[in-house]
A = this chain, B = another copy of it.
Amino acid sequence: MPSFVAEIADRLLAGSAPAVIGLDPRLDALPADLLPDGDPSERIVEFYRRTLPALAQHVPCVKPNIAFFERYGAAGFAAYEWTCRAARERGLLVIGDVKRGDIGSTASAYADGHFALADALTLHPYLGEDSVAPFLDACGVQGKSGAGGKAVFVLVRTSNPGARDFQDLELGSGRTLCDVVAEAVTRWGRELPFAEGYSPVGAVVGATWPSELERLRALLPHAWLLLPGVGAQGGTVEDLAPAFDSRGLGALVNQSRGVMQCFARDDGDWLARVEDAARTFAADCRRVATGERT
């Protein structure tokens, strides 16, 4: 299998939308008729068993956030494993939104466990380069064993209001903390195998801060940007045009609630609503990425 960055570039150049759908299972937002007597992990699995085939028709990638799974303990963790596996079996690329970050020896344990489940992972930068290095080892050239070819998305500028608290702190040099993290992301990716101009070390940049986007794009010339925050958090796809290059590559827009919670819980046609929302979201992302204006 090609590397994550080669595969995502190929799919986008072949017409796939630069769109990711976030899988954040909330029991109080599942369809009312979906195993109402099931335990949480059974209900979550059933929801994705029903929706993943529809999502795979419209987007190349999903992003399960493990918090909403491990909320239900070991059974929830098993539901996360099931969801990653089922998504990959449907041909979807999986970004495991795990936001891990620990010292080197511990980071190796996280990398081993989570890259077995997902094609790419989100990471915290606060502990510095040696905390990211074990994950970068898995982003190298793929060996015969199938290791390698993975990708990471390092948190640079997050989508929440509290992003300002530390990420915007001004350093003596006039740059902000997230600028320096962005420069580190560029450095960390430099020696790894690129595809279509992009390295396997990407960055999370919240779609809720369009005014930051051009500056961070310039600091991250070779990074895939993962852009969360569209929809419920207030970001709009239209504001994200500066994230894309002239071929429509370089960024992936994430939406979670706007697709996966777009229906009334008692709507018997909820699956059609999800598919409609995924189709519309994908079309919006494709249009903005390719520079078409409505």
By a beta-carbon cutoff of 8 Å, the part of chain A in contact with chain B is: 24, 65, 67-68, 70-78, 81, 99-104, 106-107, 109-110, 112-114, 116-117, 124-132, 155, 158-167, 169-172, 177, 180-181, 184, 233
Contacts and interface: CB of A to CB of B under 8 A. Distances in A.
A233 B127 CA distance: 15
| A81, A103, A132 pick with most chain B CB within 10 angstroms | A103
A71 B113 contact: yes
Contacts of A158: 103, 126-128
B99 A67 contact: no
29 contacts: A67-B100, A67-B102, A67-B106, A67-B109, A67-B110, A70-B77, A70-B110, A70-B114, A76-B113, A101-B124, A103-B162, A104-B160, A104-B162, A124-B126, A125-B126, A126-B126, A127-B155, A127-B158, A127-B163, A128-B161, A128-B162, A128-B166, A166-B181, A169-B171, A169-B177, A169-B180, A171-B171, A171-B172, A177-B177
Given A125-B166, A169-B177, 11 more contacts: A65-B102, A68-B109, A70-B114, A73-B78, A74-B75, A99-B124, A104-B162, A126-B155, A127-B162, A128-B165, A171-B172
B184 A165 contact: yes
A164 B65 contact: no
A71 B167 CA distance: 30
A172 B162 CA distance: 20
B166 A113 contact: no
A34 to B, nearest CB: 19
A103 B159 contact: yes
A260 to B, nearest CB: 13
Contacts of A109: 67-68, 71
